[in-house]
Every structure is written in structure tokens, then in C-alpha cells.
Structure 1
Amino acid sequence: MTDLTKLTAAELAQRLSAGETTSVEATQAHLDRITAVDGAVHAYLTVDAEGALQQAEAADAARAADDAVAPLAGVPIAVKDNLVTRGLETTAGSRMLEGWKPPYDAHVIERLRAAGMPILGKTNMDEFAMGSSTETSGFGATNNPWGLDRIPGGSGGGSAAAVAAFEAPIALGTDTGGSVRQPASVTGTVGVKPTYGGVSRYGAIAMASSLDQIGPAARTVLDAALLHDVIGGHDVRDQTSMTHDWPSFAAAAKAGLEPDAVAGLRVGVPRQLAEGEGFEAGVRERFQEALDVLTARGATITWIDLDTLDYAVAAYYLLMPAEVSSNLARYDSVRYGLRVTPEGANVEQVMSATRAAGFGDEAKRRILLGTYALSSGYYDAYYGSAQKVRTLVQGDFDRAFGEVDVLVAPTSPTVAWKLGERLDDPTAMYVADITTIPANLAGIPALSLPMGLSEGLPVGFQFMAPAREDARLYKVGAALEAALNEQWGSPLYAQAPELKEA
């Protein structure tokens, strides 16, 4: 039998539908893979073998009783640890929430359960999603399967690494400034940030509420589209949730396999997201090669200037910490999380001791930055000005999409750097998200897929589309993915180095 862990989610779903395997067999195969290699990768914080197998049995029983099951029924999945799961420990990568077992499911978890997808476990992440390398986790770093001495990106490095290491066929992440897409770029996988409001944030532990969005992590564009079909749609519990009538994203991805899928496509390349200091030569070369592939298939490439993007990173790192300061204020030793009680301490001292012990350095840094930006006398100068820049960025994108169908850029200006290399340089860490942050500020959808290797490590190509045009991303993404796979002779994920099993 073919190794079930090497199948894509779509391939595994097809095997399940044809009766060639069962969800129990597929789930057990992935649990065995986790046991064998996760000691080296550390993609997971919690593995729920018993629960996953029970869910797999239920999926098999449902399929046996009724052929009308969801397309991904029985396909196991990994979930980022800031998405609450009823009865299963959820920490957001922080000691502040260590041991917490939520009494309810996030909306997207409800959708997974309704679709019959067994949840393998919860994946590692930067603490409260604050980081670009999964090194700020309170439970230790995750390693990149392409090089165990390299970072897997962040904050959702655990989900990307689990997919890249064949420890899950598919996963869920969250993206505030690139936390699904940047890990996808450096691990040779696919990551999608949906339109803001396209996927309910109910039950996602908040970092920056106006920027956070849940999205798929996968090995192929089709797999990401299939998962997006499961989790997308309106939710009355999320006031930012859209009531838009979404098309089938899987159908859009399949349409991308047509020979003329990108013929006539108008592609815009913002100079601010593809040139300048910090972009490695190998990344530039792979990006130009991908543009050449699109041109050969009938797309038109136009280089454009979006001047406000020069200020996007600075605006983001004022807006995001301000929302962090507000959202993390609830972890005060009284309402949520850890409580540290020094002998004889009053309430204020208990609060101070708890937050000092529960939060890591990066969380404290962003809380301080955000509190300062919101403080009296500085609100208008910092937070207010950043909001104005955000509006200008949104206007720039609107104008650009009046001239082109999609915007493109490298997903990350570099390949995965070595563990520890940037921990003492927060500014260098922050600019790693220079090409992903603008999509979050604008609230538009964006997709990252592999565009090749540089120095033997993966690099990613990013598509961006107007708000609510997520289907367009899946179509053009699938088209470029198929063309590149044809050139390479196999998908990039199949070229990953073998991990030694325990």
C-alpha cells in the first residue's frame, strides 16, 4: 500500500471515497508518523490520538451508512494551538494558558467536526501568535523539516512544519501579518489568508482583532481550497463575519488546471514588495522565473509603484501592538489564565507577578509598545497616524486592482534563517513580514505557493486579489503550481529531505 502520509488531502479523500482505505487507517498512519519524527520537528504541542481515532471511526461509520458525506470526511487535520478545542488543551503557545481546556469549540473546529475530519492535535506557535519563527513559543521552538537547524517561519510554524513533514495532510493556521503565508514559503507548502471576514474568528484567541484571519495550510492549492470550503462562510457570533455568497474554492482550483487558465491575466508587481534591500538573490531569481512561466501562458506582467507600502511595516507595528495591549489585558490573574500569588501580595502585586511569569519577552515587548502607542499624549501621533496610513494602503490597493487582476510578490525576502539567528534583533525579525503585512492591512486575500529552491531551501510566490475574490487566487495559484510542477517533474514537497525516524 502507498504510504498514506505521502498522499495529499485530495488524494486521500479519493481513496476513502473509493473504499481503498479507511479514516482509521489514515489517521493511525499519521499518528505513527508523528511518533516517529516529531521528536526532531516538534510541530505539535498536543497529540490527541484517542480523540482522533474516535473521530475517524465515526467518519468511517458515517461513510458506510451514507455516501453523502463531506468531500474531506475522514481526512485527518492538525490545528494551530490558538484555535480553541473543547476539552483539548489550548495554550496559544504561552505558559499563561498552560493546562487550559476550553469548554467550547471555535467556529472553524465546529466546521471540521461537522465535515468528519479527525483532529490529530494542536500545533506549536509563537506565543499568542507574536513572531516570525516559532521561537517565542513558551514550549520550545519548532524545526524546519527542510533543515532542522532552520526556523519553520511563524507564528504558525507548527502547522506548516506538520504538513511539510507529512505529520498531517492539511492544517489550520492564523494570519495576522503573514503567519500562514510566511511559514508556507520557508517550508515549501501552500498557505492562504482569506479575505478578512471570510472565515469566522469566533474561538480564535485574539492577538490583533482587526488583522487576525484563520486560513488553510496545505501541500497543494487544491487541498487548501478544499479546506477553505469547509471553514468559510457566515457566523452570527462574529460581528466581522461576511454574509457574502462564496463560490466553491475547490472548483476554482480545478479550473486553474485548464490550459488557458491565466491567458489574458493582468499581473501587477509592486516594486516595493519585490525589490530593495533584504531580498536575497536566489529569491529574486526564482520570482523572475515564476513571472516568466506566467508570461509564457498568456499573462501580462506590469511593474507598478504603490508608494504607501513603504510605510506599511511601520504602521503595522503600531496598530498590531496596540491591539495586543488591549487583547492581552484580560490575562490579569483574575479572569483568565495563570495566577502567581506571592506571600502577602495585594491584587496589584499578584497581577504583576502573574504577567511577569506568564508572558515571554516578545509578548511583553509588544504589550509595552502598544500601551505606549495608546497612552495619553501619544495616541494621535502614533496609533491615529498608523490608522491613516492603513487607509492610504487600502486606497492604493483599490487603485491597483482597477488596473490589474492580481498583485504578486515573493512571500518572504529570504529563505529560512538559522534558529537563534535573529532572536536578539527584533527589527530584523519584524521586516521578514515586509511582503505579507500589506494584505492584512488592506483586508484582502493572499496565497503563497512554492516557486522553487534557493540555497537548497524553499521560497514562496505570493498572489493577492481584491477583497472577496479568493476564488481568483485559487484559480491562478493552481495554474502556476501545475506549470511549475511540470517543469520540476514533481511537486516541491516531494523533494524534501527524508527525516530520520526515531
Structure 2
Amino acid sequence: MSDLTSCSASTLARRIRAREVSAVEVLTAHLERIERWNPVVNATVTLNTEPARARAEAADAALARDEVWGPLHGVPFTVKDQFSTAGLRTTYALPHYADFVPDADAPQVTRLKAAGGILLGKTNLPFAAYDWQCQNPTFGRANNPWALDATPGGSSGGSAAALAAGFTPLELGADVGGSLRVPAHFCGVASLRPTEDGPLRGIRPPARPATVRHIAVAGPMARTVRDLQLEWAALSGSADTAEVPAPAADTLRIAVTPELGGVPVDTNTQRVLRDAIGAWRDAGCSVARRPAPFDVEDAFDTWARIQGFELTAGLPAPLRHTPFRQLVWHGYVRSQYGSLAGRMAKGAGLSPRAYFNVLDRKATLADTVDAFFDDWDLWVTPVAALPAFTHRRTGAALEIEGVSVPYALPIAPYNCPTAAPGHPILTLPAGRSSDGRPIGLQVHARRGTDANLLAAGRRLEAALDHDPEPASFAETSGSEDDA
């Protein structure tokens, strides 16, 4: 593998500014790796090759004049094909927009470019950005670089796969029910689901109303927490966020909840969590097991009712009303996500007054979680009850320790309730299953403390001795013929 495609974004940024390597060389190395291995992984779906080359040449010329555009000067990045990109195809994973080219960038893309980043291309995602796998109606299936017969997760599945494959050092994804966290966990990369802060713009076709006003957030993805800090500084518009020092380990108070929603994790995940607790204690952290700081069922229902109401409001007129509304939720969605559809169907039928009552419940949940952090600095939970699973039809049963379980059961209770309060969540690579599949952990913190969470995450990452090297395809299962 080219050294440049295994480097962290922070290292690339430093080496480019020091003129040890050119932005053109960095871009070329990533394009060559994509050309060689993307047919196997199918993580990138649209490349920005010529504009990116021109931008890289301009970055090198600027450095020759001692001009630095920002902390990402000359560093390539990719974005989930849910974010609008000016002059570059954006499909939103909807067949009707298979050839759509927006006129403007999403705000998050604008910020990454303003920080000196170079847009390399777009990454794969499932239909309508709604699944924990990554089967796209236009581009086909993305595969997990660590096990090609397994999913990279969803909906930011191509995002995580591109990072894990060494196609990009930085990625932009989004999350409403695990779409950043599950792919990061499945692919062994890091992500930040930031503090929820108003409606997420730039992720919908311009002709569609922005009915999803809560819970959905955009967030950075990278192979290391240091790189998340670098990207989050650009996305949040504050260079100071990249400079928050890591706290001393012996000052960190960590609460751990090994199980959520009555769904136990598999033995591999239990082992990784135990090992992480041991490593953090050895590093001086104070770690104790505690129950979840809120009623998980109440948080789950809050998430589902908000999602059900807001998603239904964005459907075409005939589907917003019975009987067709019932067919959507109790027919199609139930076939995909089982009992999760029933929870969301209750939201689809809410009156406006009832919807606002649910938003009040959401605010109370957020306050409850913040009160929990009066006594704890961090709260750690699993991301899912199992590592990456093999490709299958959406809705098909999964297995935990040889027991068949409904499709959503190993994932939804760990991701939907935890998204409802709106606090920041770091997904941290923590270990591997016995057959080499990555396993991550969720690290939660108080609302508005994203920069501090990332700083603490660097301390936890160091204790775990995480190896951020991209996947070596010679060691993965499957072949190009399997993709």
C-alpha cells in the first residue's frame, strides 16, 4: 500500500504544509488506490477527479507563495452521497435523482473546502439513506473491506468502507438511528455524532421540504480520533476545538452500561468491552458499571414517534393519510424493520399537539442525560449486539450466538434511544472479533461538549493502542468475483 494512503489526515496535512509531499501526490495516491480496489469494495460512487486535480495543483502553488488555506490544506476528503455537491452528481440514494447535479454545496461541504480540503468524491449509501446495510438502487452493494462477504453498515456504509479501505483520510456522514455509529463500528473507524443543533441542511433534494427537523445530524468520520478533531474543527468553524488538550486519565470518570433494551451483546463484544475497561483502569481512569441514565423504552418511543411523524410529513400527499399511510408503515416498513415499524407508525398518526408533546419528552430526556454527567465525564455503551454481519435482504433475521433474532433487534436498541436526547457520541474502535471483524464502542458526553469528548477520546484511544492502518485486501475474505 502507498504510504500516503495509510497516513492519517493529520500527518498528511502536516507533511503537505512542510512541503515533504505535494497535494497532487497525495491525491494521486488515493485515486490510484480507488482505481485498484473500489471494484472490490464499491465504496466510492462518483469521483471528482479533474476538479480535484486542479484544486490540488492550486494548493501546491499557494504553498509556494507561503499561502495556507486552512488546517486541511491539500488534504482530500469524500462525502456521503446524501450531501449536495455543486457541479458533482448527488443522488441522495433515490433513483429519480440518479443523474442530478446540484448548483450548491451542502454547508458542511463548504466548510471542509474553506478549511483547505479537496473534495475527492462521493460514497455509497442505501436507498433513501435508511438501512443498517448499504445496498444502493443505482450503484449496487458496498462491501466491508475487512470481510468482503459482510456489510460495512449503513447508512454511511460507503463512508466507513472508504476510510477502512484507504480510499480517503476523511469522510462526512450523517446519523439519525446509527448511520454514523454502526458503519464506524462495523469497519473499525471513528466517528462523531455531534450535539444535535437544529435541522440538518444540505442532505435532501432541493424540491423536497425539510420535514426531518430533529435527531438527524451530520458528523465527521476518520481512522483516528485526532483526525476527527481536525475535521470537527473545520465543520464547527472553530480551530480551538482541535487544540483542546486530552485530560489526564486519572481524572476521567467513566460509567459503562454493557446492555441496552434487554438485548445482550455477543461474546466477542463482551470480551472487547471487558478488555477496554481493563485498559482504561490500567491507564488510571475511574470506571464503574451503571444502568442507563434514562428509561430506554421511553427514549426509544420518543425517537420513533418523532421519526414517524416527520418522515410521514415528507411523503407524497396520498401516503400521508389512511389507508395508504397504514400500508406504508404496517406493510412496507414492517417488512423491512419488524416491530420498529409499529413504533414509528404511532408517530405517523400523531396530531400536531401530540407531536409537540413528544418534543417536550425529548427535551426532558436531554436534561436527564445532562444531569447524569454531573457525576460522570463519559458514558460508554456497545454500538450493537454483534460485529458486521454477512450481506442479506433487509429485514432478514440475524443471529446472536447462534440464536435467530429479528433484523433490527441487535442494532436499534443501542442506536435509536441514544440518539433521542441529542448529546454527542464518539464511536471508538476498540478491538476485533475472533474472526477479525472490527468492534467499536459508543462514548457519550454532555450536550455541547463535543470538543472535550474528542479530547477525552484521544486518551481512551491511546489506552486501547488502536491500530488505524487501512485494511489489507490480501488478508480479507472473499475476492473481486464475490463483490
With the shorter chain as reference, the TM-score category is 0.7 to 0.9
Match status 1:251 vs 2:243: yes
CA RMSD of the aligned region, Å?
3.2
Structure 1 residues 228 and 368: alpha-carbon distance in aligned structure 2, compared to 1, 3 A threshold: same
1:462 to 410, 425, 442: 442
Instruction: Assess, with a 3 A threshold, how the Cα gap between structure 1 residues 247 and 166 changes in structure 2: closer, same or farther.
Output: closer
1:124-176 superposed Cα distances (whole Å, 9 cap, x missing partner): 11222211111365532210000011010110001100000001111100111
C-alpha spacing 1:75/1:289, structure 2 compared with 1 (3 Å): same
Q: What residue number does 1:316 align with? A: 303
Matched, 1:491 2:467: yes
SS in 1 for 2:121: strand
Alignment correspondent of 1:472: 452
**Partner Cα separation in structure 1 for residue 223 and residue 201 of structure 2:** 26
Q: Is the 8 A contact 1:124 1:137 kept in 2?
A: no
- Which of 411, 415, 429 is the matching residue for 1:436? 415
Q: Which residue does 1:339 correspond to in 2?
A: none
Counterpart of 1:346? none
Contact in 2 for aligned 1:90/1:102 (Cα 8 Å): yes
Aligned counterparts, 1:246-325, within 5 A: 248-252=240-244, 255-256=245-246, 261-270=248-257, 272-273=259-260, 276-305=262-291, 306-325=293-312
Mean alpha-carbon deviation: is it higher for 364-373 or for 44-53?
Answer: 364-373
Shift of 1:8: 0.8
- In the alignment, is the contact (CA less than 8 A) between 1:85 and 1:105 conserved in 2? yes
Structure 2: where are the runs of 5+ without partners? 205-209, 399-405
Change (3 A) 1:323 1:207: same
Paired amino acid for 1:281: T
**1:394 is aligned with what amino acid?**
A
**Pairwise CA distance, 1:320:** 1.4
Q: Is the 8 A contact 2:164 2:471 kept in 1?
A: no
- How many percent of aligned residue pairs carry the same amino acid? 32
The 5 A counterparts of 1:96-111 are: 96-111=96-111
Looking at structure 1, the residues matched to 332 and 95 of structure 2 have their Cα atoms a distance apart, in angstroms, of 12
Question: Which whole-Å deviations, capped at 9, do the CAs of 1:166-217 have from their partners, x for residues lacking one?
Answer: 011111001112211211111010111111128x833122683211111111
> Residues 175 and 214 of structure 1 are in contact (CA less than 8 Å); yes or no, is this contact kept in structure 2?
yes
Partners of 2:74 and 2:62 lie apart in 1 by 9
Q: Does 1:423 align with 2:395?
A: yes
Q: Structure 1 residues 211 and 8, CA, compared in 2 at 3 Å: closer, same or farther?
A: same
The correspondence for 1:229, drawn from 200, 213, 233, is 233
TM-fit CA distance, 1:495: 6.3
* Aligned-partner Cα distance in 2 for 1:372–1:440: 19
Q: Which shows bigger deviation, 382-391 or 115-124?
A: 382-391
TM-superposed deviation, 1:28:
1.2
Structure 1 gaps, min length 5: 234-245, 333-351
Query: Shift of the alpha carbon at 1:468?
Result: 0.8
**Helix, strand or coil: the match of 1:429?**
coil
Equivalenced residues, count: 453
| CA deviation string 1:420-463 (max 9, x = no partner) | 06533595236513223334211111101110101311000211
Taking the aligned partners of 1:58 and 1:117, their CA distance within structure 2 comes to: 12
Q: 1:212 is matched by which residue type in structure 2? A: A
After TM superposition, the structure 1 stretch with the greater mean CA deviation from structure 2, 390-399 or 47-56, is 390-399
Determine the C-alpha separation between the residues in 1 that align with 2:317 and 2:190: 34
Q: Is 7-16 or 207-216 further displaced after alignment?
A: 207-216
Distance apart, 1:414 and its partner CA: 0.9
CA distance in 1, matches of 2:277, 2:181: 19
Distance in 1, Cα, partners of 2:139 & 2:342:
24
Alpha-carbon distance between aligned partners in 2 of 1:330 and 1:218, rounded to the nearest angstrom: 40
Change (3 A) 1:431 1:324: farther
Counterpart residue identity of residue 299, structure 2: A
AA at the equivalent of 2:228: A
TM-score, scaled to structure 1: 0.82
CA contact (8 A) 2:276 2:430 kept: yes
Matches of 2:361 and 2:371 in 1, distance apart?
Answer: 15
Task: Identify if the C-alpha distance between structure 1 residues 159 and 375 changes in structure 2 by more than 3 Å, giving closer, same or farther.
Answer: closer
- CA offsets 1:16-48 (integer angstroms, 9 cap, x no match): 112111111111111111111111101012112
Instruction: Tell me if structure 1 keeps the 8 A contact 2:428–2:440.
Output: yes
- Write the deviation string for residues 278-314 of structure 1: whole angstroms up to 9, x where unpaired: 4111101111111111112222123222341233334
Instruction: Give 1:399 shift.
Output: 2.4
Would you say 1:177 and 2:149 are equivalent positions? no
Query: Equivalents in 1 of 2:379, 2:356: separation in Å?
Result: 28
CA contact (8 A) 1:319 1:383 kept: yes
Q: Distance in 1 between matches of 2:232 and 2:314?
A: 27
Counterparts of 2:364 and 2:218 in 1: how far apart (Å)? 25
Structure 1 residue identity aligned to 2:415 = T
